[in-house]
Amino acid sequence: MAQYNTLTDLRLIDLLKKDDERAFVEIYSRYAEVLTNFASSKLFHLDDARDIIHDLYVKLWEDREKLQVDYNLKAYLFKLIRYRIVDKIRKNITREEYAAMVQALGSYSAPNIEQQIAAKELQQSIQKSLDGLSPRVKEIYLLSREENLSIPEIAEQLRISEQTVKNQLSAALKHLRQSLAGISTSALILWWLY
């Protein structure tokens, strides 16, 4: 057989679908560095970029039999990496917002009894609002917000499309916003504390 570095991307994909590890190694050799450079230009930490690339290639190997790359492997890989970068940024923003909130709350004095009661009532309101969601929408919301799973991870776990996950998350957030519209930010912060 010809040297793998002389094969076209589409031929490598065909071989990869047949469990050819050398084809996988060649795909990695061709694109890992450029994908890492792209990811690191969008993220704050090189380690995050490397983690994303690693996860991408693990997924590529796991899903090799059902790959549908008909034209341009490089474009396909860049499309996948863009989704992963967006998910990583979204998770980091959420974590940074929570960290900033905790830091800001550290300077406050302990809440009084009235504040504690208000926080508990708010928690009950949020739970009641979540209980008003359909079981599937609630499950998707909890996987996203409490287990910090990305949209692709939720879609894979529940065996549904990513678009369905996005639609269900939007519906859940809209429902929560409407349910909690009259509640003040300070009450939300106290609820988060408890």
In this predicted model, what pLDDT tens digit does every residue of 123-169 receive, in sequence order?
777 778 888 888 998 898 888 877 778 888 899 999 999 899 888 88
pLDDT of residue 25: 93
**pLDDT classification of 105: cutoffs 50, 70, 90:** very low
Work out the average pLDDT over 100-104: 55
Helix (H) or strand (E) holding 2: none
- Residue 171 near residue 116, CB atoms below 8 Å: no
Work out the average pLDDT over 58-79: 87
pLDDT of residue 181: 65
pLDDT digits (tens, 9 = 90+) for 74-88: 888 988 888 888 887
The pTM (predicted TM-score) of the whole model is 0.48
pLDDT of residue 4: 85
Distance of CA 26 to CAs 36, 157, 186, Å?
16, 29, 55
Decide if pLDDT at 170 tops 60: yes
In order of start, what are the domains of the chain with their CATH numbers? 1-107 (1.10.1740.10), 109-194 (1.10.10.10)
Residue bearing the bigger pLDDT, 37 or 118: 37
- Of the chain, the percentage scoring pLDDT greater than 90 comes to 15
**pLDDT classification of 101: cutoffs 50, 70, 90:** low
Q: What is the DSSP string of 24-80?
A: HHHHHHHHHHHHHHHHHHHSS-HHHHHHHHHHHHHHHHHTGGG---SS-HHHHHHHH
